Amino acid sequence: MTTLTPAATGLTALLTHRQRPALGAFLPAGFPNWTAGIETLRAFTRHGADFLEVGVPHHTPTLDGPDISAAYAQALGQGARMAHVFSTIRLTASSTAVPVVAMSYWAPVLDFGIQRFAQDLAQAGAAGAMIPDLPASEAGEWIEAARKAGIHTPQFAPRSADDDQLAAIATAASGWIYAPAAPAPTGYQGELDLPALNDFTARLRTHSRLPVVGGIGISTPQLAEQVAPFVDAVVIGSPLIRPLLQGSAPAGLDGAVEQVRAFAHALHTPASSRPLSA
């Protein structure tokens, strides 16, 4: 593997050997618009986000619920393209002290070019990219391109995965393994089966020593605090996007920032402050 870029090395350092879970904040590139999106990401880091995920807008986000789907549609309707993704990452990574990771469906990567996508991400300062709809068994070309570029390839682990599939996911992963807190689309706001999540993350850790990042269904700060004992980081998206969709500036931004503060506070509570395996 090519030597990791400084951004990728920084992500590894952030997520390993922590005393509390890190907080990741997700926002699509170009949402609410290109300039406001960059300012929103910067605001998230000022108010508690330890790392950022920048989404690549896509017309058919099959794994996403209504909030992220609407944000993608708004970004695309305003002309967001892959160039906006790289610009958002570059401007955010260069002006904050936190790692930035891209989140993309596979189709936009194929359309843009696998090698070019990996190289342009690295040049923009991204620490890596997660492609949740690309099975590990089919990810060889992407993994090779990303590793040559020196960036991480976090892997999405479906809750339905058997041990053979988890082993393949662990082999393909670098940076982290993503464990959905609920087997549902993003934006799920129901109850969580915490014992089942505990069992699943324990299974993941038998296959890999990489950090485990939780998301999907961690819809409130209270749930983040309850999930914290099982994971090394929590990523939130829909709770931040919802106020931005519902409120005009600056009210929408204020609501999203307040969510970041609340989730960060929940992950800082004494109940969540314990050594994590990495």
Annotated catalytic residue: which of 50, 53, 120, 225? 53
Question: Rounded distance, CA 63 to CA 8, Å?
Answer: 26
261 touches 50 (CB < 8 A): no
Res 278: pLDDT? 39
Res 248: pLDDT? 80
Residue 140 CB contacts under 8 Å (≥ 6 apart), including other chains: none
Quick one: pLDDT band at residue 269, thresholds 50, 70, 90?
A: confident
Quick one: pLDDT band at residue 271, thresholds 50, 70, 90?
A: low
Q: Quote the percentage of the chain above a pLDDT of 90.
A: 92
Annotated catalytic residue: which of 50, 64, 67, 232? 64
Whether residue 162 lies in the annotated active site: no
225 touches 212 (CB < 8 A): no
pTM of the model: 0.94
Domains of the chain: 21-269 (3.20.20.70)
Question: Rounded distance, CA 115 to CA 146, Å?
Answer: 8
Concatenated DSSP letters of 48-78:
T-SEEEEE---S--TT--HHHHHHHHHHHHT
Among candidate residues 157, 145, 154, 139, the one with its CA nearest the CA of residue 118: 145
Beta bridge partners of 52: 25, 100
Whether residue 64 lies in the annotated active site: yes
* Run of H or E including 90: helix 82-93
Residue 100 CB contacts under 8 Å (≥ 6 apart), including other chains: 7, 51, 52, 53, 54, 89, 92, 93, 125, 126, 127
Burial class, 148, CB count within 10 angstroms (exposed 0-12 / middle 13-18 / buried 19+): middle
What average pLDDT is seen over the chain?
95
pLDDT digits (tens, 9 = 90+) for 79-129: 999 999 999 999 999 999 999 999 999 999 999 999 999 999 999 999 999
